[in-house]
Amino acid sequence: MNLLDQQKIRIGACAWSFDDWRGPFYPPDLPESRWLEFYARYFPAVEIDSTFYSAPAEGTILRWIEATPAAFRFACKLPREITHVCRLRDCTAELKSFMRAVEPLAPKLQVVLIQLPPSFTPKDGKPALRKFLVQLRVAQISCPIAEGLSLRHRVPASRVAPAADYRSAREMPHLLGLGGHHGVERTQSGAIRVSAAYH
């Protein structure tokens, strides 16, 4: 498969700062300030879940850029003020403010994730979503980004993938998406063990 850079499938986690990854994945003595750098050795992408709660400071974004290789990519979650409070309606100012805040991340920003609440139904929400996607494309920063849509729902037990071992994310099968229930650990041989619920 010969894909352009923007079309490549990248596998990553929904964050890199899970305390329970210390030991199983991160070396016990590795300072938290170096976790992203270590994570980026094994995975080519990560979701920044914290943007759901507040926009990151420019200094924080610059540290993320410096800690990751040139080909590494980020996915930023839209703030809950846009998705859950405004429900994608009448949020032009909030969207512009968020896009300005993440502008320094532009060279490595691959996806803006739109996580919608369980109460956002297709019947009521489809017109708002269509209008918002147009607004998002107009507000895009200095590089093309994709929109990712996440509808919150329960994952049945039959959709839980068994644990598997890989030396790096580059060896993992081309999964289209990992759900919110997953675990990552390094085995004694240095392989990465991943278990995930998938969409």
Q: What is the pLDDT of residues 61-101, one digit of tens each?
A: 999 999 999 999 999 999 999 999 999 999 999 999 999 99
Range of the domain at 65: 5-158
Contact criterion met (CB below 8 Å) for 170 and 11:
no
Place of tokens 């974004």: 61
- State the pLDDT at residue 78: 92
In a domain, 193, yes or no: no
Arithmetic mean of pLDDT, 43-60: 93
Place of tokens 């839980």: 160
Kind of pairing between the strands at 160-166 and 192-197? antiparallel
In a domain, 151, yes or no: yes
Place of tokens 């919110």: 180
Q: Which pLDDT band, with edges at 50, 70 and 90, does 179 fall under?
A: very low
In a domain, 187, yes or no: no
Write the single-letter amino acid at 53: Y
In a domain, 167, yes or no: no
In a domain, 97, yes or no: yes
In a domain, 52, yes or no: yes
Contact criterion met (CB below 8 Å) for 84 and 125:
no
Q: How many domains, the chain?
A: 1
Contact criterion met (CB below 8 Å) for 119 and 151:
no
Write the single-letter amino acid at 96: K
The dihedral through the CA atoms of 64, 65, 66, 69 has a sign that is positive
In a domain, 84, yes or no: yes
Please give the residue that has the higher pLDDT: either 94 or 160.
94
- State the pLDDT at residue 112: 86
- State the pLDDT at residue 137: 76
Give the domain CATH number at 63. 3.20.20.410
In a domain, 182, yes or no: no
Please give the residue that has the higher pLDDT: either 132 or 67.
67
